[in-house]
């Protein structure tokens, strides 16, 4: 017997109470939607429409229910419809004739089938000629109108003269349209991204990870970030900032809370312009984990946009010391964001995201960020942990050292006996190299860095350069597939590479840096000969909740290019357009440029960092954290300067033995100096940001004695910074 107190949730009364609960939540949210007085959304008409549409959708999809945030997805859609309808009525008023369905200047009543033909009216109007409206503008033909007005008129053409669209927008059907649009958005229209899934707490059917889709999408975001900017990603992971803390809000409302309505509409235009169909993966890698969130162009763009936002806030994020401050930065946007830049950047990252998703990637899961901290003796990235050693290597572009090494071997193929070792024919290499390099702009940074250390030039290189340059513009997908095939070759190759480099560079230990993938596991065993700096630096990186710089530098333990055999291919697009690239970098939006520089600079410095770090570390441990970091950075930067000199010398020396013209060398050097200067500047900025934080925090808190100490340290650090600035200016001028 169905009674109001029945415990059965499926009973009529049970549903009644559930719906009442739904309505209550909905009403609560609606009152809080854009609550400024006079806002369009608070008008009763609009609220009524929103309420009905949302209620109906939720009742039709009881598995999702109503969640906070759905109203914020619907509101801009309704707003757009409303604006369009208003515009339509404005245009109608002005250009009334074109809207009236007059045939031979008779106007036919829309609904009136029994309209009596009034002869009197007919004769009258015929006499007047074409009756003028109440002062409406008269145009003899449609073609004379402003093209925008034309479009508006044609869209209202009930007779479908324009491609049989019929009436595209009408006031009567505004609510219907809003419902359809909202439904399409939520259900994804059969595509990969269905917004409704972001609201559901249960794991989606296709998910490989078994996590709720929004968590998975946040992980996808982080994955993309780790590809693009692994130090930033590592920093965030260290602080324990799980992606869903901020990504939940971003994804559920499609960035609705971060931007003003007008900006948001632009962003949404871009998002929705992308196709939502799933991009089919070539292989049968069903068992391999890929992100559902990334498997469509639209999804990839959304993730890419999120990553570009994070990158925009890069320096602020890096300067934060704890998770709360970091989240604060991420969740409170400055108002002066340059939207165009962000969108452009997102577009560039989007292709990367699709590729990254299509190729195999190791299993990752939320919470792995903590695990990664314990990867101490591996000497490799923090970002991903691995559930099984068998997982295929990651697609992520590896350190510039790998590329160099690959170039090295590539060169060997062509000029045998130069290095005297490896020989394995690797046709895939050049492609792989190209792939790696063409993947992100950040790769170019490594190429620039490599310039400094080159010694061996060969005619081969020129061809390689040209190849790469062309590859940079070519389709990434084809590269991708080739690349996938070659992944398997990597490991043994790297082993040999390690041996080679070690042989040549005796004193410097060169752990190879691999950003977060299976290779790290397999290679770690090969790095027996350089355990101490690795573990040392790892120890450093593990117990640094410290300054972001230290963590940055310690994360990428790259070999400083021993100025010996490092091949040049990574310096690729050089001869073609060395400056073009640096310019390009400069022209990219600031965040991108910074990240590029940062990456490059980091890679570049890491090696110097290595042997200077030993000195720096001892010093730093004795002092306060920040000071230590500054000294480290200073040491590193100082070391880098030294190495530049060394590098240039060796480069010069090598020039004589090379067959490439010295001009290119010169150009390369110049470019690299400039880049170095820029990267130093960026580093300085980060340090300064840290200082500002520091001053802000410690000023009022510490007692006088400590103040004195800290003040001293600050002074020295600031002085060091000044000097660095000067150096960087010099370099950039060169």
Partner 1 sequence: MVLVLALGDLHIPHRAADLPPKFKSMLVPGKIQHVICTGNLCVKEVHDYLKTVCPDLHIALGEYDEETRYPETKTLTIGQFKLGVGHGHQVIPWGDLDSLAMLQRQLDVDILVTGHTHQFTAYKHEAGVVINPGSATGSYSSINYDVNPSFVLMDIDGLRVVVYVYELIDGEVKVDKIDFKKTTASST
Smallest distance from the beta carbon of 56 to partner 1, in angstroms?
20
Smallest distance from the beta carbon of 21 to partner 1, in angstroms?
9
What is the CB neighbour count within 10 angstroms for residue 30?
19
Q: Which is nearer to partner 1, 3 or 206 (CB)?
A: 3
Smallest distance from the beta carbon of 203 to partner 1, in angstroms?
31
Smallest distance from the beta carbon of 65 to partner 1, in angstroms?
17
Q: Taking a C-beta distance cutoff of 8 angstroms, is the pair 441, 596 a contact?
A: yes
List beta partners, residue 102: 107
| Alpha-carbon span 87 to 538, nearest angstrom | 62
Q: Which is nearer to partner 1, 22 or 94 (CB)?
A: 22
What is the CB neighbour count within 10 angstroms for residue 577?
15
| Alpha-carbon span 457 to 664, nearest angstrom | 10
Smallest distance from the beta carbon of 195 to partner 1, in angstroms?
30
Smallest distance from the beta carbon of 12 to partner 1, in angstroms?
12
Q: Which is nearer to partner 1, 18 or 466 (CB)?
A: 18
Smallest distance from the beta carbon of 28 to partner 1, in angstroms?
15
Smallest distance from the beta carbon of 85 to partner 1, in angstroms?
36
What is the CB neighbour count within 10 angstroms for residue 525?
9
What burial class does residue 645 get, using C-beta atoms within 10 Å of its C-beta: 0-12 exposed, 13-18 middle, 19+ buried?
A: exposed
Q: What number of helices (H) and strands (E) belong to the chain?
A: 31, 2
Q: Which is nearer to partner 1, 17 or 34 (CB)?
A: 17
Smallest distance from the beta carbon of 3 to partner 1, in angstroms?
5
Q: Which is nearer to partner 1, 11 or 42 (CB)?
A: 11
Q: Taking a C-beta distance cutoff of 8 angstroms, is the pair 399, 447 a contact?
A: no
Q: Which is nearer to partner 1, 4 or 282 (CB)?
A: 4
Q: Taking a C-beta distance cutoff of 8 angstroms, is the pair 327, 250 a contact?
A: no
Smallest distance from the beta carbon of 182 to partner 1, in angstroms?
29
Q: Which is nearer to partner 1, 5 or 286 (CB)?
A: 5
The helix/strand/coil state of 136 is coil
Closest listed residue to residue 555, CA positions, set 569, 566, 544: 544
Q: Taking a C-beta distance cutoff of 8 angstroms, is the pair 70, 199 a contact?
A: yes
Kind and range of the H or E element at 106?
Answer: strand 106-107
The helix/strand/coil state of 539 is helix
Closest listed residue to residue 720, CA positions, set 601, 626, 605, 586: 626
Q: Which is nearer to partner 1, 65 or 531 (CB)?
A: 65
| Alpha-carbon span 460 to 546, nearest angstrom | 45
Under DSSP, the state recorded for 80 is H
| Alpha-carbon span 453 to 568, nearest angstrom | 8
List beta partners, residue 103: 106
| Alpha-carbon span 534 to 537, nearest angstrom | 5
Smallest distance from the beta carbon of 104 to partner 1, in angstroms?
56
Q: Which is nearer to partner 1, 4 or 653 (CB)?
A: 4
Q: Which is nearer to partner 1, 17 or 709 (CB)?
A: 17
Q: Which is nearer to partner 1, 13 or 333 (CB)?
A: 13
Q: Taking a C-beta distance cutoff of 8 angstroms, is the pair 508, 610 a contact?
A: yes
| Alpha-carbon span 633 to 627, nearest angstrom | 10
The helix/strand/coil state of 126 is helix
Q: Which is nearer to partner 1, 7 or 141 (CB)?
A: 7
Q: Give Cα 189 distance to the centre of its chain.
A: 25
Interface positions with partner 1 (CB under 8 A): 1, 3-7, 16-17
Smallest distance from the beta carbon of 5 to partner 1, in angstroms?
4
């Amino acid at each position: 017997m169905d009674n109001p107190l029945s415990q059965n949730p499926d009973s009529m009364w049970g549903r009644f109470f559930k719906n009442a609960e739904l309505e209550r939540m909905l009403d609560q949210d609606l009152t809080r939607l854009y609550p400024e007085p006079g806002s369009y959304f608070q008008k009763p008409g609009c609220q009524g429409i929103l309420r009905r549409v949302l209620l109906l959708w939720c009742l039709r999809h009881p598995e999702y229910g109503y969640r906070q945030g759905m109203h914020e997805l619907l509101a801009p859609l309704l707003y757009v419809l409303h604006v369009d309808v208003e515009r339509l009525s404005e245009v109608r008023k002005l250009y009334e004739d074109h809207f009236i369905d007059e045939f031979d200047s008779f106007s036919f009543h829309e609904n009136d089938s029994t309209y009596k033909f009034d002869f009197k009216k007919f004769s009258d109007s015929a006499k007047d000629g074409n009756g003028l409206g109440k002062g409406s503008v008269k145009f003899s033909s449609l073609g004379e109108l402003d093209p925008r007005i034309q479009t508006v008129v044609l869209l209202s053409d009930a007779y479908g003269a324009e491609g049989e669209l019929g009436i595209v927008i009408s006031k009567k059907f505004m609510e219907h349209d809003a419902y359809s649009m909202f439904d399409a958005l939520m259900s994804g229209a059969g595509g990969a991204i269905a917004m409704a899934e972001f609201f559901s707490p249960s794991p989606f059917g296709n998910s490989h990870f078994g996590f709720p889709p929004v968590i998975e999408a946040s992980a996808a975001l982080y994955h993309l970030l780790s590809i693009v900017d692994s130090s930033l990603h590592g920093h965030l992971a260290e602080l324990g900032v799980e992606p869903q803390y901020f990504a939940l809000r971003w994804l559920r409302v499609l960035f609705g809370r971060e931007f003003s309505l007008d900006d948001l509409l632009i962003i949404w235009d871009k998002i929705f312009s992308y196709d939502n169909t799933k991009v089919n993966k070539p292989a049968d890698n069903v068992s391999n984990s890929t992100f559902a969130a990334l498997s469509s162009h639209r999804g990839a763009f959304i993730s890419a946009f999120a990553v570009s936002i994070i990158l925009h806030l890069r320096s602020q994020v890096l300067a934060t010391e704890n998770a709360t401050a970091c989240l604060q930065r991420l969740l409170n946007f400055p108002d002066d964001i340059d939207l165009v830049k962000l969108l452009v950047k997102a577009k560039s990252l989007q292709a990367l995201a699709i590729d990254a998703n299509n190729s195999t990637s190791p299993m990752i899961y939320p919470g792995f960020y903590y695990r990664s901290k314990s990867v101490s003796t591996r000497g490799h990235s923090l970002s991903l942990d691995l559930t099984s050693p068998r997982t295929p290597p990651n697609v992520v572009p590896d350190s510039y050292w790998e590329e160099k090494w690959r170039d090295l071997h590539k060169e060997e193929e062509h000029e045998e006996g130069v290095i005297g070792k490896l020989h394995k024919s690797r046709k895939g290499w050049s492609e792989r190299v190209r792939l790696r390099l063409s993947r992100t702009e950040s790769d170019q940074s490594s190429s620039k860095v490599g310039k400094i250390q080159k010694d061996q030039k060969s005619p081969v290189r020129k061809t390689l350069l040209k190849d790469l340059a062309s590859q940079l513009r070519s389709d990434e997908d084809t590269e991708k597939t080739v690349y996938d095939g070659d992944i398997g070759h990597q490991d043994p190759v790297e082993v040999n590479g390690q041996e080679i480099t070690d042989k040549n560079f005796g004193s410097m230990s060169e752990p190879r840096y691999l950003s977060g993938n299976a290779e790290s596991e397999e290679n770690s065993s090969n790095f027996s000969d350089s355990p101490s700096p690795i573990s040392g630096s790892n120890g450093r990186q593990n117990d640094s909740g410290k300054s972001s710089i230290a963590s940055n530098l310690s994360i990428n333990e790259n070999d400083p290019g021993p100025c010996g055999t490092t091949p040049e291919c990574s310096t690729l697009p050089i001869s073609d357009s060395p400056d073009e690239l640096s310019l390009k970098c400069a022209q990219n939006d600031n965040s991108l440029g910074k990240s590029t520089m940062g990456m490059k600079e980091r890679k570049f410095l890491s090696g110097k960092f290595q042997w200077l770090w030993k000195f720096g570390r001892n010093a730093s441990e004795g002092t306060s954290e920040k000071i230590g970091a500054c000294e480290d950075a200073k040491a590193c930067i100082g070391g880098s300067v030294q190495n530049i000199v060394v590098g240039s010398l060796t480069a010069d020396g090598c020039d004589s033995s090379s067959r490439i013209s010295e001009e290119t060398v010169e150009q390369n050097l110049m470019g690299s100096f400039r880049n170095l200067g820029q990267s130093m500047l960026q580093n300085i900025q980060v340090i300064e940001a840290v200082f500002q934080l520091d001053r802000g925090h410690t000023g009022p808190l510490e007692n006088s004695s400590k103040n004195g100490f800290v003040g001293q340290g600050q002074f020295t650090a600031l002085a060091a910074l000044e000097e660095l600035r000067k150096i960087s200016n010099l370099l950039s001028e060169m």
